């Protein structure tokens, strides 16, 4: 359920605006913890596939971590912070 006056289209517009403005910064500054954790977890879960597991886990971890920060940025922008 969205707040009054906020439509799904406006949420998507805000998310794309944030990605355009801060996407690279989000990936560089906030993606590395997910990258490291995902790589370690992938290697631990699939020791026979070390390289593939580390790369796959790192991609999933970095994507999940960046998505969390995008959600925070989206929430702040919807509240009027930085907009």
Least reliable range by pLDDT among 20-24, 30-34, 43-47, 61-65:
30-34
Predicted pLDDT of residue 26: 67
**83 lies in a domain?**
no
Question: Does residue 44 lie within any of the structural domains?
Answer: yes
Average per-residue pLDDT for the chain:
76
Q: Residue 6: its pLDDT value, please?
A: 64
What residues make up the domain containing 57? 20-78
12 located within any domain: no
| Average confidence (pLDDT) over 10-35 | 73
Q: Who contacts 38 (Cβ-Cβ below 8 Å, separation ≥6)?
A: 56, 57, 58, 59, 60, 61, 62, 64
């Amino acid at each position: 359920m969205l707040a009054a006056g906020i439509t799904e289209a406006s949420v998507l517009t805000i998310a794309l605006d944030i990605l355009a403005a801060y996407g690279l910064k989000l990936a560089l500054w906030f993606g590395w913890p997910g990258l490291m954790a995902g790589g370690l977890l992938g290697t631990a879960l699939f020791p026979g596939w070390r390289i593939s597991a580390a790369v796959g886990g790192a991609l999933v971890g970095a994507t999940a971590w960046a998505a969390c920060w995008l959600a925070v940025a989206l929430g702040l922008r919807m509240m009027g912070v930085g907009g």
